[in-house]
Structure formats: C-alpha cells, structure tokens
Amino acid sequence: MIYKTRSESIELKKMRILNLRMELSERDKRYYYNLRMGYEGEVLFDSMAEKLQCDCLVLNDLLLKVNNSTFQIDSLIITPNSIHLIDIKNYIGDYYYKNNKIYKNPSQEIASPLTQLERSETLLRKWLTEHDFDMPVVSYVIFVNPEFTLYQASPDVPFILPTQNKQYFKQLNSNTTKLTSKHKMLADQLINAHIVESPFSQIPSYEYEKIRKGIYCKDCHSFSLVIDKNFYKCISCNNEEKIESAVLRSVDEFRLLFPERKITTKAVQEWCNIIENSGRVYKILKKNYKTLGKNRWIYFE
C-alpha cells in the first residue's frame, strides 16, 4: 500500500507559474522541463506501485538527513524481507551504457544515475543504523518511459528497463510474507524524519514588478480572456471558467510566489488585472478567506 503519497513539489509549481509569467533563461527552461519530466515519470511509477497486492509499504518522495548530508529518495518500498530504494528516471530516446556511465546518443555523457544511487544507498544504510534498524537494502534505477532504450547495459547493473517494469512488480507481488509492527515503525520514523523544504532548489530570482499580471486560461494558458457574465471566456480555445474559481486560482499563485505580501482587495485586483470591479474581488475574497483587519486595512488569510 502507498503509505506516503507524492504531490507536486513547491519548486515545480513555482517554476510552472514563472514559466507562464516571465521569460525564463534557456537554462531555467531546461531545469523546468527536467522537473516536469521527472514528476511525470514518478506519477507513472506510482500508477504501477498502487496496484501492488503484496504486504508492503510504499513511501514516496523522502528527503532525509544523516551526518549533515541530505539525500533524496524517489520511492522506498518496505517489504517483509528488504527495503527497496528506487530512483525513477523518465528518460526518452536512445542511450548507451559504458563503464558505469550513461551517454546520450551520440556521445554526450549524462550525470550517472548509478553514482547518485550508490550515494543514496550508503546514506540510507547509515540512517538505518543510526535508528537501530537492521534490514537489507537493495537499490534500483527504474526507467519508466516506454520510449527509452539503453544499449550495452550488462544484466548485473541495477537497472530496471521499461520492458522489465512489469516483471519487477510481479516479483514483488509473489512475496507472501507479512509485515510486522517493526516495519510500520520504520515507515513512521522515516516519515517523521522527512524534511519538507528542499535545499536543492534552483528557482531563479524574480521580482513582483517584472512578473506578468493577469489571469490566464486554465486549459491553453492564454492571457486573452473576456468576461461574459460570471465567466471568463478564452479567446484562443473557447474554454470557460467561473470568475470566482479563476480569481482563486490566481490568488493561490500569488501566495505561492509572494508569501510575504498581504492579500488585499487592491493587491488581488492588481495581480489579476481586474481594474474595473473591486466589489467583485472583495466578495470573492470575503467568501473564501478569513477577513482580518478593519476598514481600509482589511486583508485576507
């Protein structure tokens, strides 16, 4: 069973908004693309892990610290006999394996998933020893994208290729042993030790003044919307969204990008680019948020 679920990281959410509201550098665009691809791969993995029938606990997205070293785990499967440490990769296209390294066609070396895996495994073992758990750890890099091919990989490398994904889960499922309270205790301790804020964040700096204001279409992300009674209508794709839900969606983005700024009617009017109707904005905020302050100092939380 899934014991710790996965959700989109704050980093990915922020990058998605920034990508729509400012011009990202090529490097930031690539970073955003990689974050997105990584998350999509993880979701694909989760859809397979969800179907596991054997007695096991799946913990997704753990960030742990041991001896001042922080390490991230995509998925951890606690089975009765061992702990599976899984690194998920969503690579697409043809790759080559040679001497512990991976190259993207034709000869571009990419950061080795094996080095990363070894590091995580060493640190996880340390973490387990420190917390008095004595269980074997096996680790794998699982490639989930069906459009991924790896040439020349030898069978003893801990890779699970797309054609082997099914077999891997089948094998896990064949285990009929049951978990004990010790396993549950381990899972709970791992969740307690999980660090929420990632120190690896590479979000580019941004300023309120330079960020594009306005509401964009939920479907096609166009900023060309017109108001039709209680709805925003998208000129590009004809999608309709209730004004209230569009405003609230935009306020969520505002809070995420600028947590230090107060949510006031004026701030939201400016952020959403709704110049004409402060009454409507006030009503939406009053209905959905807690009102604090008085008269002209009213703000929402």
Size of the site for Zn ion (CB under 5 A): 8
Helix spans in the chain (H): 10-21, 26-49, 113-130, 165-173, 181-193, 243-257, 265-272, 278-288
What span, in angstroms and rounded, lies between the C-alpha atoms of 271 and 17?
Answer: 13
Q: Could you give the string, one character per residue 271-300, with x where binding to Zn ion holds by CB under 5 A and - elsewhere?
A: ------------------------------
Closest contact distance (angstroms) between CB of 25 and Zn ion is 26
What span, in angstroms and rounded, lies between the C-alpha atoms of 32 and 19?
Answer: 8
Per CB under 5 A, does 239 bind Zn ion?
Answer: yes
Of the pair 53, 222, the CB lying nearest Zn ion is at: 222
Near Zn ion by CB under 5 A, which window of 8-16, 61-69, 148-156, 209-217?
A: 209-217
Closest contact distance (angstroms) between CB of 24 and Zn ion is 21
Per CB under 5 A, does 236 bind Zn ion?
Answer: yes
Near Zn ion by CB under 5 A, which window of 34-42, 168-176, 239-247, 249-257?
A: 239-247
For helices 278-288 and 265-272, angle between their N-to-C axes, nearest 10 degrees: 110
Q: Can you give the length of the chain in residues?
A: 301
Q: Which of residues 109-128 bind Zn ion (CB under 5 A)?
A: none
The 8 Å CB, 24+ separation contacts for 24-29 are 24/204, 25/204, 28/204
What span, in angstroms and rounded, lies between the C-alpha atoms of 70 and 75?
Answer: 16
Task: Find the binder of Zn ion among 117, 141, 190, 234 (CB under 5 A).
Answer: 234
Q: Could you give the string, one character per residue 211-230, with x where binding to Zn ion holds by CB under 5 A and - elsewhere?
A: ------x-xx-x--------
Handedness of CA 272, 222, 32, 207 (dihedral sign): negative
Closest contact distance (angstroms) between CB of 247 and Zn ion is 17
- 224: Cβ–Cβ under 8 A, 6 or more apart, which residues? 217, 234, 235, 236
Of the pair 88, 234, the CB lying nearest Zn ion is at: 234
Of the pair 74, 253, the CB lying nearest Zn ion is at: 253
Of the pair 194, 233, the CB lying nearest Zn ion is at: 233
How far CA 64 is from CA of 128, 188, 199, 294, in Å, comes to 11, 13, 11, 44
Here the tokens at position 106 are 């034709």
Closest contact distance (angstroms) between CB of 237 and Zn ion is 3
Burial of 137 (0-12, 13-18, 19+ CB in 10 A): middle
Near Zn ion by CB under 5 A, which window of 121-129, 131-139, 234-242, 270-278?
A: 234-242
Per CB under 5 A, does 141 bind Zn ion?
Answer: no
What span, in angstroms and rounded, lies between the C-alpha atoms of 31 and 22?
Answer: 15
Closest contact distance (angstroms) between CB of 232 and Zn ion is 9
Residues near Zn ion (CB under 5 A): 217, 219-220, 222, 234, 236-237, 239
